[in-house]
Structure 1
Amino acid sequence: MTRLILVRHGETLWNLERKYQGHSDIALTDKGLRQAKLVAERLNGEKVDAVYASDLSRALKTAECIAARHNLTVNVVPELREIKFGEWEGLNYEQITERWPGLLGKLWSTPDEIQIPGGETFHQLKERAYTAIKKIVDTHPGQTVVVVAHGGTIGTILCAMLDIHLNHVWSIRQDNTAVNIIDYYDGRPVINLINCVRHLVD
């Protein structure tokens, strides 16, 4: 059995401000760093063989906290980045709605059917992210691997594993430092845990 542990990054300032981050490299807040340390403590009991992360600092720093507990270095995979929000990056809901009336609503209702201005489609995100995940899993047969990525990225990966339409991507909640566990049996993914943040409960 191969175990894949998918973790979303800790909180950033743009998370607080409800700004769309995408490929913008936004650092963790102090709270986000505490969250990263808490999820690292939670995973300390796992026998982790490798740690991977997106190259964006919010994911990379979260991954470094986890890797340090296991005396590992982080393998950086740019394909694990968040969806590219293009012209929407750095803007909040109200600003986007004002400039692109009606389009943001479609992002939530039918995300796989829109082209983000200057950005990616969710299909493009799924293709690059899920291809990267399959390569990682194939590289570590019988081992436990932690992958730190982003909410949209993890959502599309889980949609791919479940073979469900990408229009359901927002039905899979991903809080900051959420833990998702997938076990592979003869190459078949079995999802055991989704969006668990018990490590953040006081």
Structure 2
Amino acid sequence: MTRLIVVRHGQTLWNLERKYQGHSDIALNDKGLRQAEAVAARLSEETIDAVYASDLSRAFKTAECIAAKHGLKVNLVPELREIKFGDWEGLTYEQISDRWPGLLGKLWTTPDELEIPGGETFHQLKERAYAAIKKIVDAHPEQTVIVVAHGGTIGTILCAMLDIHLNHVWSIKQDNTAVNIIDYYDGRPTLSLINCSRHLKE
């Protein structure tokens, strides 16, 4: 069995301000750093063979906290980045709604059909992120691997893994530093845990 422990990054200021981040490289805020240390402490008892992360600092720093507990380096994978929100990056829901009336609603109802101005589609995100996941799994037979990424990215990975339509991507909640576990038996994925953040309550 290969075990994939997929973690969302800790909180950033833009998370707090409800701004769309996408490929913008926004650092963890103080709370996000505490969350990263908490999830690292939770995973410190696991036997971890490798750690991978998106190359955006909010994911990389979260992964660094986890990797430090195991004496491992973080392998950066740009394909694990969040969806590119293009012209929407740095803007709030209200600002986007004012500038692109009616378009933002598709993000929540039919993301499968959404074309983000200057950005990516959810199909493109799913293709690049899930291809990266499959490479990681293939490289670590019978091992346990940490992957730190982003809410939208993790949602599309789980949609791909479970063969769920992309219009349901937001039905898969991902809190900051939430832990998800995917076990692969002979290459077949089984979702064992989803959006678990009990480490933030302990």
Q: TM-score, structure 2 length as denominator?
A: 1.00
In the TM superposition, structure 1's runs of 4+ consecutive aligned residues that sit over 4 Å from their partners are none
> Per-residue CA shift, 1:56-107, capped at 9, x if unaligned?
0000000000000000000000000000000000000000000000011111
Aligned residue pairs, count: 202
Gaps of 5+ in 1: none
2:195 paired with 1:195:
yes
- SS of the aligned residue for 2:104 comes to helix
The reply to whether residue 181 of structure 1 matches residue 181 of structure 2 is yes
Unaligned runs of 5+ in 2: none
Distance in structure 2 (CA, Å) of the matches to 1:45 and 1:159: 29
- Matched residues in 2 for 1:150 and 1:164: separation? 18
1: CA distance between counterparts of 2:176 and 2:114? 26
RMSD: 0.4
Which residue number corresponds to residue 148 of structure 2?
Answer: 148
Rounded to whole Å, the distance in 2 between the matches of 1:102 and 1:14 is 23
Aligned residue in 1 for 2:92? 92
> How big is the shift at 1:42?
0.3
- Deviation, 1:116, is 0.2
Q: Equivalent residue of 2:47, what SS?
A: coil
User: TM-score scaled to structure 1, two decimals?
Assistant: 1.00
- Asked if residue 77 in structure 1 is aligned to residue 45 in structure 2, the reply is no
How far apart, in 2, do the equivalents of 1:33 and 1:112 lie? 33
The separation in 2 between residues aligned to 1:180 and 1:112, in whole angstroms, is 23
Aligned ranges for residues 1-202 of structure 1 at < 5 Å? 1-202=1-202
Deviation at 1:11, TM superposition (A): 0.1
| SS of alignment partner, residue 45 of structure 1 | coil
